[in-house]
Structure 1
Amino acid sequence: MSELPAAISTQIDDWLAVYDAPDADAAYLLVDRHPADRVAFTQIEVGADGELATTDITFGQLADQSRRLATALAARGIGRGDTVGVLMGKRVELVVSLLAIARLGAIYIPLFTAFASPAIEMRLTGGAAKLVITEPSQVDKVKGIEGVDQLVAGPEFDALLADSSPLEESVAVGGDGTLVLLFTSGTTGNPKGVPVPVRALAAFHAYMQFGLDVSDDDVYWNAADPGWAYGLYYGVLGPMAAGQRNLLLHAGFSPATFVKVLGELGVSNLAAAPTVYRSLSNDPAITGFSLRRASSAGEPLTPDVVSWAVEALGCEVRDHYGQTEHGMFINNHWNDALREPVVPGSMGFAMPGFTCGIERGEIAIDTSASPLLWFTGYLDAPDKTAARFTGPDRTGWYLTADAGRREDDGRFYFTARDDDVIIMAGYRIGPFDVESVLITHPSVVDVAVVGRPDQLRGEVLEAFCVLAPGVVGDDALENELQVLVKEGFAAHAYPRTVHFVDELPKTPSGKIQRFKLRETTP
C-alpha cells in the first residue's frame, strides 16, 4: 500500500489532540458538542404483526436525559472512578446510561443479555460494580448479587429522569481516564478486564472514517450487540464521537426483520457479523438491494458469501480485523483514499494510526509507531499484560495471539488462533467458561470444550466429557448438560454436541491438547 496522504496523518493528529487532551470530557465529546437537533439514534421496535415502529433520538435529547440520570445516580452514591454495569439490549436507555455514567467520571461495564447470572455476576464483582442498570426481561439475572444495587428501565427509570434536575457540569477525566471496562472471553481462566480510556475514541472515530467510510449521507447500521466490542465501539461510541446516526433494533435477529430494516430505513452502510451475511445468503428471495458499503468483522467470510453480496446487496462485503484490546486495526478499507482491491482470504492493510507486522509468528502491533494504540494492560493482571508485549513496560510489539502472515504488498492474512477461543456467530467464547459450568455436574469428572467449523455460524461448540464410574452417557444426559450451560453461563454458548469419552488427551504436564480433539471425526 502506498504512503499515507498527508491529510490522513493530519487528521489523526487532530483527533488525538481532542480525544487525548488532559481535560478531555467524554460526555462533551460524545454528545454535547454536536448540534442538539441532529439525530443520534433511531430506535426500531417490531410489532406483533411484524411491522416496524421507529423513534428518532437527537443529541439534544440524549444530553438532557443523561444529565438528569447523572444527577439521580450521584444521589445513589455513584461518583468518579466507580463502576456501573449495564445489562440491556439495543435500546435508548442503554445509551443514556452510558452517558450519565461518563458525566460522573464513573466507568461503564457492558453486559451481554445472553449471559446467564453467573457470567454477569463474575463481571460485576470482578469490576467492583456498585450498581447495575438493566431492563425488565433481565432483572431476574441480577437479583441477589451481593453489594450491587439495581435500577430497572421502565417506570422507575423514567421517574428518575422526570424528577431529577440536569447535572450542571460533567467530570472531565482526561484522555487517560477510563470510560469503559469491557471483559474479554477467557481461554484458560476468567475473562480479563480491558479498561478503555477516553482517548480510545480517536481510534474508534478513525475506523468509522477509514474502515467503514461512513458519510453524512449514509443511513448507517451497525447491527452488532453493544454487549461486545464491535457493537459498543462502532454501534454506540464511534457513531456518537463522529456525530453519525446509528439504528438500534430492539429485537432478536431474523432474516425477515433484518431485510425489512434494510428496505424501509434505506440502509446504505451496513456493518454486521459474518453470521448475518451467511444467514441472508441462504434465502434466495433476498436480493435487489443497493448498499453503498458493507463490512464484516469477527471471522473471515467465505468466497460464496462475498459473491452473493455483490448480486443481492449491491456491493461486496469487506472483511476487517481487530480485538477487544484495540478495536479494529487491520481492514479492507472502504475509504476512497485507502481502498484497494480485495484479495480473497486477506484481512487487508493496517489502519492509519497503527503499524503492524508479524512477530513470533503472530499478528502484532508496533507500540512505538502506533499513535492510535490505546491498550495499556488488563485489570489487575500484570502477568497476563506482560505476556502480550515483547518489551518491558508495555513496549516493543503487542502480540495478538492470532497467527498470521504479511505479504510483500502489505496485506495481512489470518492463519490460525494461537489460543483456544471459539468464535461463534461473531461472539468470542472462552472454553474455560463453558468447562467451568459443565464440571459442576455430578456425572462429569473431566471436560474439554472446542470449536467445530459450522457453515452458518463459523464455529459451534462441542464438549468432550469424561463421566464418573458407572454413569452412562446418553441423549438425556447430553440435553441435561446443554441446559446446564444455557442457565449457568450463556444461552448462545451451549455445546451443540456432547461426546462422552474415556479420557482427554493431555500433555505430560496435564494440559489438555484441544487440537487433538478438534482433529477427531465429527
Structure 2
Amino acid sequence: MTQTAPTHDPSVDEKLHEWITTFGADSADAAYLLADRHDPAAVAFTTIDIDDDDELVTVDLTYGELADASKRFAAALAELGVGRGDRVGVLMGKRAELVVSLLAIARLGAVYVPLFTAFATPAIEMRLTAGDARVVITEPGQVDKLDGIDGIRTIVAGDEFDGLVAAHEPVAESVAVGGDGMLILLFTSGTTGAPKGVPVPVRALAAFSCYMHYGLDVNADDVFWNAADPGWAYGLYYGILGPMAIGRRNLLLHAGFSPEVTAQVLRELGVTNFAAAPTVYRSLSKDPSFTGFALRRASSAGEPLTPDVIDWARETLQTEVRDHYGQTEHGMFINNHWHPDVAQPLVPGSMGSPMPGFATGIVDGQIAIDVAHSPLLFFTGYLDAPDKTAARFTPDGAWYLTGDTGRKDDDGRYYFTARDDDVIIMAGYRIGPFDVESVLITHPSVVDVAVVGRPDELRGEVLEAFVVLAEGVDGTDALEAELQQLVKTGFAAHAYPRTVHFVDALPKTPSGKIQRFILRKQP
C-alpha cells in the first residue's frame, strides 16, 4: 500500500475549515446555505432554450426569485403531506423548476431523488420504490413514463407547477436537518451491477465547494458552464449544488447535445470555464467546424481522456482539458486541479493528485481513500445495503476501496487502469482496456470504441474490440487488420484485439459510461 496526502499552504487549510464548519454544523440549513444567504439580485442560473429560428433564448434566474418560488412551492408540497425525511422524485431536464423543486424539498427537510430523463419506466419505478418516494415532480414530455406506477402523486412543470407556486404563501422558515441530514438520494449508474442508493448529506456541500474552487477554479469573473445532466452526479453536484454553494452562476441548456448548439452557447454567452463529459469533447474533436474558441479553463470527468483529445483542445480551445476523477459516493477527489494554489503541470493519462480534504493511496491494486485523513469524505454506506457497503471498505474500516484499479507515480499522480472487473488478464499480463482504446480512437475512421476480455483456452483471456465507425466507412477485413496493427505499434504487440467487431453503437449507462459487462456476454 502506498499513500498520498495532499500538501498545501495554510490558506488551503483555512478554506477547508470554513467549508467543513459551515456545511457540517448541527444547525446547517440547506436552503439557506444554497440560496437565502446569497445576494437576492445575483444571478444563480441562466436558462437557455432554442427557438424556431435556432436562436438562443436566455432567461436569468436570481437567488431572490429562487428563494421566493421555492418557499411557495414548499408550502404546496407540505400540503400534500411532504415532511422531514420524505423522499420526492424529480424527473425533468435542465430547467428552472428543477432548481426550485430541489430547494423546496430541502426547505421541508425532505430528500431529493433525481431521476434521469433518459430512463424508461422500469428504471424510474425501481428508484422510486427503493427510495420510497410517493411524490414526483416532472415535465410534460416525461409524464407518460409515470403512468402505471402505482401510489405516486405527480406534479407537472408548466401550468400546474406555476399555479401551485402562485396559490401558496411562502413557508415562514426552513427545516435545518444539520450537516449529517440527508439532502439527496442518488443512485449509482450501474456500470457493473444493480444501481445502489447513495445518501448525500448536507455536509457534502463542503466537498462540492472545494472542487468548484480548487478543481475547476470557478471565479467571480468566469462565465461557467457545466454541461452535464443533473440526473447524474457530476451534473447535480457541480452543475446545480456546487455553483449555489459558492454563489456562482451556471448555464442550464434545455436542449440535447450537438456540436453546433455547444459552439453557439460557448460563443454567444462568452463561456470561459467549461466542464463536460469526455464524450462531449470526443464529439467536438471530430467536428472540423468547431473552431475559434479561447477558454480559460476546460475540465472533464467520467472516463479518462485520450491523448488525442488533449492535443486537440490545446489547439482548438486554447487551453488544456484537465481530467478529474471521482465517484457518485464521494464526488470528485483526485484531480488535475486548475486552481494555482494546488495545480501541477498536466501529465496526459494522469487523473492528477488528491484534492485538499482527501488522502488517497493504492490498496491491493485499487485506488483507495484514507478514511481517517479525509475530512471531506461524506459517504457512510449505501441505502439498506450493509453487505455492499462492507465490500467497499477494508475489514478494519481504514480504507474505502473504489473498485477502480490504478497506479501512482513518484510525483504522487494517479493513473486509472480499469474497473476492477474490467481488467483483462492475458497470459499473465494485466491489461487495462483504456490503454488499448486510447490507441484505437486515434484512427480517423473510429468514432467510439470499447475493449473487453473474452475467455481463451490457451491464454486465459484475449482482447476483443467493439468499434463504431464514422459515417460512410465500411468495416472490412483490411480495416480490422489496420486497427490491430495500430495497437501493436502504438501500445504493445501482445495487446492487440484478436477480433474487431464493427457495431452501430456501444451499450452505455444513461450517464455515458460504457457497459463492458454487456459486451462480454455477447456471442
Q: Structure 2-normalised TM-score? A: 0.82
Given candidates 391, 395, 398, the residue that maps to 1:396 is 398
* Equivalent residue number for residue 481 of structure 2: none
- Partners in 1 of 2:335 and 2:320 — Cα distance? 14
* Equivalent residue number for residue 411 of structure 1: 413
User: Partner amino acid for 2:51?
Assistant: G
How much has 1:407 moved relative to structure 2?
Answer: 1.1
Residues 23 and 205 of structure 2 are in contact (CA less than 8 Å); yes or no, is this contact kept in structure 1? yes
Q: Which range moved further: 272-281 or 74-83?
A: 272-281
Matching of residue 307 in structure 1 with residue 319 in structure 2 = no
Residues 412-454 of structure 1 show CA distances to partners (whole Å, capped at 9, x for unaligned) of 0001111459999xxxxxx9xxxxxxxxxxxxxxxxxx99466
How much has 1:186 moved relative to structure 2?
Answer: 2.7
User: Partner amino acid for 1:186?
Assistant: G
Residues 288 and 311 of structure 1 are in contact (CA less than 8 Å); yes or no, is this contact kept in structure 2? no
Equivalent runs, 1:39-78 vs 2, <5 Å: 39-78=43-82
- Partners in 2 of 1:237 and 1:405 — Cα distance? 31
Residues 119 and 490 of structure 1 are in contact (CA less than 8 Å); yes or no, is this contact kept in structure 2? no
* Equivalent residue number for residue 438 of structure 1: none
Equivalent runs, 1:193-272 vs 2, <5 Å: 193-272=197-276
* Equivalent residue number for residue 338 of structure 2: 334
Classify 1:404/1:268 alpha carbon distance in 2 versus 1 (closer, same or farther; 3 Å).
same
Residues 373-418 of structure 1 show CA distances to partners (whole Å, capped at 9, x for unaligned) of 00000000000001101134xx200000000001111000001111
* Equivalent residue number for residue 167 of structure 2: 163
Equivalent runs, 1:170-189 vs 2, <5 Å: 170-186=174-190, 189=193
Residues 19-61 of structure 1 show CA distances to partners (whole Å, capped at 9, x for unaligned) of 0000100000000000000000000000122110000000000
Specify every segment of 5 or more residues in structure 2 that has no aligned partner in the other structure, as ranges: 424-432, 438-451, 453-463, 471-502
* Equivalent residue number for residue 279 of structure 1: 283
User: Partner amino acid for 2:411?
Assistant: D
- Partners in 1 of 2:185 and 2:270 — Cα distance? 34
* Equivalent residue number for residue 125 of structure 2: 121
Residues 190-249 of structure 1 show CA distances to partners (whole Å, capped at 9, x for unaligned) of 310000000000000000000000000000000000000000000000000010000000
Classify 1:257/1:163 alpha carbon distance in 2 versus 1 (closer, same or farther; 3 Å).
same
User: Partner amino acid for 1:29?
Assistant: L
User: Partner amino acid for 2:112?
Assistant: Y
* Equivalent residue number for residue 440 of structure 1: none
User: Partner amino acid for 1:334?
Assistant: W
User: Partner amino acid for 2:409?
Assistant: E
Residues 342-388 of structure 1 show CA distances to partners (whole Å, capped at 9, x for unaligned) of 11110000000000000011000000000000000000000000110
Classify 1:514/1:30 alpha carbon distance in 2 versus 1 (closer, same or farther; 3 Å).
closer
Matched residue pairs, number? 451
- Partners in 2 of 1:321 and 1:250 — Cα distance? 26
Residues 77-121 of structure 1 show CA distances to partners (whole Å, capped at 9, x for unaligned) of 000000000000000000000000000000000000000000000
How much has 1:282 moved relative to structure 2?
Answer: 1.1
Residues 156-208 of structure 1 show CA distances to partners (whole Å, capped at 9, x for unaligned) of 10000100000110000000000000000235653100000000000000000
Equivalent runs, 1:290-439 vs 2, <5 Å: 290-392=294-396, 395-419=397-421
- Partners in 2 of 1:38 and 1:189 — Cα distance? 42
* Equivalent residue number for residue 502 of structure 1: none
How much has 1:494 moved relative to structure 2?
Answer: 11
Q: Which range moved further: 279-288 or 351-360?
A: 279-288
- Partners in 1 of 2:388 and 2:465 — Cα distance? 24
Equivalent pairs: percent with the same residue?
Answer: 65
User: Partner amino acid for 2:336?
Assistant: N
User: Partner amino acid for 1:321?
Assistant: Y
- Partners in 2 of 1:237 and 1:93 — Cα distance? 15
- Partners in 1 of 2:415 and 2:510 — Cα distance? 31
- Partners in 1 of 2:31 and 2:288 — Cα distance? 44
User: Partner amino acid for 1:250?
Assistant: H
- Partners in 1 of 2:392 and 2:514 — Cα distance? 29
Classify 1:147/1:247 alpha carbon distance in 2 versus 1 (closer, same or farther; 3 Å).
same
- Partners in 1 of 2:311 and 2:511 — Cα distance? 32
Given candidates 63, 78, 85, the residue that maps to 1:81 is 85
Classify 1:69/1:451 alpha carbon distance in 2 versus 1 (closer, same or farther; 3 Å).
farther
Q: Secondary structure at the match of 1:391?
A: coil
Residues 232 and 511 of structure 2 are in contact (CA less than 8 Å); yes or no, is this contact kept in structure 1? no
Residues 114 and 491 of structure 1 are in contact (CA less than 8 Å); yes or no, is this contact kept in structure 2? no
- Partners in 2 of 1:191 and 1:43 — Cα distance? 30
User: Partner amino acid for 1:292?
Assistant: R
Considering only aligned residues, what root-mean-square deviation do their CA atoms show, in Å? 2.8
- Partners in 2 of 1:3 and 1:495 — Cα distance? 36
- Partners in 2 of 1:110 and 1:516 — Cα distance? 30
Q: Secondary structure at the match of 2:74?
A: helix
Residues 115 and 491 of structure 1 are in contact (CA less than 8 Å); yes or no, is this contact kept in structure 2? no
- Partners in 1 of 2:120 and 2:29 — Cα distance? 34
Q: Secondary structure at the match of 2:407?
A: strand
Given candidates 35, 38, 41, the residue that maps to 2:42 is 38
Classify 1:320/1:455 alpha carbon distance in 2 versus 1 (closer, same or farther; 3 Å).
farther
User: Partner amino acid for 1:401?
Assistant: G
Q: Secondary structure at the match of 1:385?
A: helix
How much has 1:3 moved relative to structure 2?
Answer: 2.8
Classify 1:63/1:118 alpha carbon distance in 2 versus 1 (closer, same or farther; 3 Å).
same
